[in-house]
Structure 1
Amino acid sequence: MQIIPIRHPFDSKQIPTDDVVMVLGFFDGVHRGHQKVIETGKKAATEKGLKLAVMTFNQHPSIVFQKVLPENMKYLNSLQQKERLMEKLGVDILYIVDFTSAFAQLAPQAFVDQYIVGLHSKVAVSGFDYTYGPKDVADVDHLPKYAQGRFEVVTVSKEELAGEKISSTRIRKLMESGQMEEVTELLGYVYEIEGTVVHGDARGRLLGFPTANIKVKSTVRLPRIGVYAVEIQIGDKWYIGMGSIGHNDTFGEGRELTVEVYILDFHQDIYGEQVTVRWNHYLRDQVKFDGAETLIAQLKQDELDTAAYFSTDTIG
């Protein structure tokens, strides 16, 4: 897959000369609804003998429109994760457009002329709710008018599960309540985060449950505070673990939020390694224990519950 970053105004020399089917969207999560849109584009590209291109943005539009600080925006995917998911879906060219103020000010016709026609699109595919400017003049219903017969417009209807639209908003709400199996069903894969293993206060080691403390970027959307059955990838191998998101209130109030994983049957030092954690199943809420003994007893139970959860599942 070819990845092409674009900053407005772009140089036409950056753009491959191949005609393409262009799929449009932000695609946070690349969930099953997004996958339906991309698969529709893939089918059209195959039928017409064209390459499949996807256009997304480097950051969420609300950073420009609503003045949200970039470091405060929480995403279901990093750009790198999004790239890998797109490649799996058979995308040939991924355009990552810098969502700047200058780009945001493009009139709908100018956007169509420069970013659909200008990228050699013969078909434009999007979800039913895609917009490229003010909704009243720049929704999918207006796109054929701006196309002026230069490309075909394909609109994909909403994908539902249990009578409700599959959306990034729905997934975020499920994560906030720890419903990770439902999150997996809507995404089409187990939710993952990436981070670096850093030194902690080594308290877990003293308790007999040494944990990998994982530093994640501020833009990573974490599931709700609590304890989870997780998988962790170290190198190219996946391991079972107990994941914890919380403040460790048993050892004092006002502590920093941490992400930690106790890896079952694992005895290696992995400080400094880049790891991926899959959040499979919510076990319990964080609890402030009255001492180390009750905490250790609960951790032993968590370990049993984690092993039991994965006893019927395949890791990796």
Structure 2
Amino acid sequence: MKVIELAEPYMTNTVAQEPIVLALGFFDGVHRGHQAVIKTAAKKAQQLGVKLAVMTFDQHPSVIFQKKRAQDLRYLTTLDEKLTCFEELGADIAYIVKFDEELAYLSPQTFVDKYIVGLHAKAVVAGQDYTYGPKEKANMQTLPLHAKGRFEVVAVDLLQEETKIGSTAIRKALDQGDLALVTRQLGHPYTTKGVVVHGFERGRKLGFPTLNIETKANKKLPAVGVYAVKVKLADTPKEYMGMASIGYNETFGADLAKTLEVNLFDFSKMVYGKKVTVFWEEMIREMVKFSGVAELVAQLEKDKANVEKIFRRKN
């Protein structure tokens, strides 16, 4: 997959000089609704005999429109993860457009002329709720007017469960520890990638050695608590069962930093510096401050038994 970065105003020779079908969206999470958009675009590209391109932005539009601080945002998928998903869904080209003041305040017609027609799109596919400017005058109903017959417009129906399948619902479910809903809406378990770093080695002294995992600051984590997880180490196909904790280690003191630690079952290798992927399966309990080490160890034994029971049920 070819990755092309664009910033307003872009040079015309930087875009692919061939016809495409263009899938539009921010695609945070690349959930089942997003997958439906990209798969519909892939089918249309095959019908037309052209390449499939997917466009996303480098940051969420709320940074500009709602004046949110970029460093405060937490994404369901980092940009690298998002690009991997695009490629797995069959994209030939990924356009990453810089979302800044220059782009944000283009008129809807100018956006269409430059970022759809200018990219040689023969058809555009997006969810019914997609907007490319003020929603009352730049939506999937107005897009055919701005297209002026130059490309086909395909609006994909929103997917519904008990609620609309969407990034907002997934973020809320992560905050509530509802991983079952998250998995249904994504179509797979939520994942977190990181690097194993040195910690305080408290878990090792307690008989529950943990991998301390450093993650990207802009990647959203599930709620503070204890979870059943699977972990895959880079360059190895095997997935290890374990339990993960997200919290502040309050049993050992106040004002400690938030950490992600994973105790893997039947695993004793030293893997500092190794890249890992955590697959979040189910929340076990909320985080609790214990009166002492003995109480903590007793609870960890119960947690391990509960996690093993969960995986026996899933298998």
Quick check: TM above 0.5? yes
Q: Quote how far apart the aligned CAs of 1:313 are.
A: 3.7
Q: Name the counterpart of 1:203.
A: 202
1:245 aligns with 2:271: no
Q: Name the counterpart of 2:108.
A: 108
Q: Name the counterpart of 1:149.
A: 149
1:275 aligns with 2:276: yes
- Distance in 1 (CA, whole Å) between partners of 2:290 and 2:184 is 34
Letter in 2 for 1:93: I
Q: Name the counterpart of 1:217.
A: 216
Q: Quote how far apart the aligned CAs of 1:234 are.
A: 0.9
- Distance in 1 (CA, whole Å) between partners of 2:260 and 2:147 is 48
- Distance in 1 (CA, whole Å) between partners of 2:250 and 2:34 is 39
- Distance in 2 (CA, whole Å) between partners of 1:218 and 1:143 is 36
1:26-63 deviations in Å (ceiling 9; x for gaps): 00000011111111111111111111111101110111
- Distance in 2 (CA, whole Å) between partners of 1:151 and 1:132 is 16
Q: Name the counterpart of 2:296.
A: 295
Q: Residue 311 of structure 1 aligns to a residue in which SS?
A: helix
Q: Residue 53 of structure 2 aligns to a residue in which SS?
A: strand
Task: Output the TM-score relative to the length of structure 1.
Answer: 0.96
**RMSD between superposed Cα atoms in Å:** 1.1
Q: Which runs of 4+ in 1 moved over 4 A?
A: none
Q: Name the counterpart of 1:140.
A: 140
1:148-193 deviations in Å (ceiling 9; x for gaps): 110011111111113x210111111111111101100000111011
5+ residue gaps in structure 1?
Answer: none
Q: Quote how far apart the aligned CAs of 1:242 are.
A: 0.6
Q: Quote how far apart the aligned CAs of 1:126 are.
A: 0.8
- Distance in 2 (CA, whole Å) between partners of 1:221 and 1:229 is 18
Trace 1:7-22 onto structure 2 (pairs within 5 A).
7-22=7-22
Q: Quote how far apart the aligned CAs of 1:260 are.
A: 0.4
Q: Name the counterpart of 1:187.
A: 186
1:111-150 deviations in Å (ceiling 9; x for gaps): 0001000000000111111111111211111111111110
1:158 aligns with 2:154: no
Number of paired residues?
A: 313
1:61 aligns with 2:61: yes
Task: Output the TM-score relative to the length of structure 2.
Answer: 0.97
Q: Name the counterpart of 2:123.
A: 123
Q: Quote how far apart the aligned CAs of 1:311 are.
A: 2.2
Letter in 2 for 1:213: N
Q: Quote how far apart the aligned CAs of 1:312 are.
A: 4.1
Q: Residue 142 of structure 2 aligns to a residue in which SS?
A: helix
- Distance in 1 (CA, whole Å) between partners of 2:180 and 2:105 is 40
- Distance in 1 (CA, whole Å) between partners of 2:269 and 2:67 is 44
- Distance in 1 (CA, whole Å) between partners of 2:83 and 2:311 is 29
Identity percentage of aligned residues? 49
Letter in 2 for 1:183: V
- Distance in 1 (CA, whole Å) between partners of 2:8 and 2:201 is 48
- Distance in 1 (CA, whole Å) between partners of 2:81 and 2:224 is 23
Q: Residue 141 of structure 2 aligns to a residue in which SS?
A: helix
Q: Residue 116 of structure 2 aligns to a residue in which SS?
A: helix
- Distance in 2 (CA, whole Å) between partners of 1:29 and 1:195 is 17
